[in-house]
Amino acid sequence: MKSLIKFGLIAVISLLTTALFPASGEISEPEAKNIGHRVAAGDGEFHENLPEDSLLALRTALIGTTDHGHPVQYNPNFYYLEFDVQETADGYLVLFHDHTIKRMFPQNEVNSISLQNILKTVPKNYDELKIHDLTLAQLKTLVLKNSTDERIATLDDFLQGCLDWGLVRPIALEIKYLYSDAAREHLINAYSMFRENFLARTRVFKSKKYDLDPSGVSFFGFGGNVKNSFDFKDAQRKTYWCDRFKEAGFPKIYQALIHWNNLCS
């Protein structure tokens, strides 16, 4: 019995040794998450010291900088470039993840005066402010977290940056919070035009783990956000908008995390 136990322990140790120290002598690393999340920037992401969903993060991810070395989009764990879109009070589409602005626009010496001026015109406390409470001009007066002078990015500027700075990986637009038909139409039209230009000039490099639109350009989102943003509770409205997506070349709106589920089905 003792010999069997000893043999078992040796076998287990051998398996662990093989996993941790492969033949090359290098320690194997655990599989990383999709580092394209929020444009690979922000708290807990690849570029922790850059503002998430920003043009600075995009440029760094796609072409790199002196400080950040090689472009992270060439990392094998960069499955797709993910970013989040919301609508401002005056109908512009901007990149922003959170439901409220407080985490990404902290009250500090850089932007406190701008915030105080905004709060004089908006009947809400700072902690309650959302992107849709402010105009693009107001948002542009605020400085994003993890930067000295980086401002919120519009969808149009971001998509142009993807083309200008040489995106070669798949791209996924997450629908967050939309409120007007004009913004919905612009979202579909702008992304469709980008898709056409992007695919015409770019060979998209997809990893084996990529599971969104085969073209490499996708819409996705959490069910509640997409349903609210496009009035899916109304059957006729859902049919209309899902048809608009299909006409623009997007037969599916992939559900976040559960990618095989089509929110337009």
Q: What CATH number does domain 37-255 carry, 3.30.70, 2.30.30, 3.20.20, 2.60.120?
A: 3.20.20
Tokens representing 30 are 């655990």
The CA radius of gyration of the chain, in Å to the nearest whole number, is: 22
**Residue 199 three-state SS:** helix
User: What pLDDT sits at residue 70?
Assistant: 87
pLDDT of residue 176: 98
Taking the CA atoms of residue 207, residue 45, residue 110 and residue 85 in that order, the dihedral angle to the nearest 10 degrees is: 50
Domain ranges of the chain: 1-30, 37-255
Question: Alpha-carbon distance 217 to 134, whole Å?
Answer: 29
Digit-coded pLDDT (tens) for 132-188: 999 999 999 999 999 999 999 999 999 999 999 999 999 999 999 999 999 999 999
Sign of CA dihedral 50, 56, 58, 64: negative
Residue 8 has pLDDT above 80, yes or no: no
User: How far apart, in Å, are the Cα atoms of 245 and each of 31, 53, 259, 261?
Assistant: 34, 24, 17, 16
DSSP 86: E
Answer whether residue 26 shows pLDDT above 80: no
pTM of the model: 0.86
Query: What is the pLDDT confidence band of residue 116, given thresholds at 50, 70 and 90?
Result: confident
Question: Please, what sign has the CA dihedral across residues 244, 246, 248, 253?
Answer: positive
- 190's torsion region: left (phi>0), alpha (psi -120 to 50) or beta? alpha
How many angstroms separate the CA atoms of 93 and 256, rounded? 20
**In the prediction, which pLDDT does 69 show?**
79
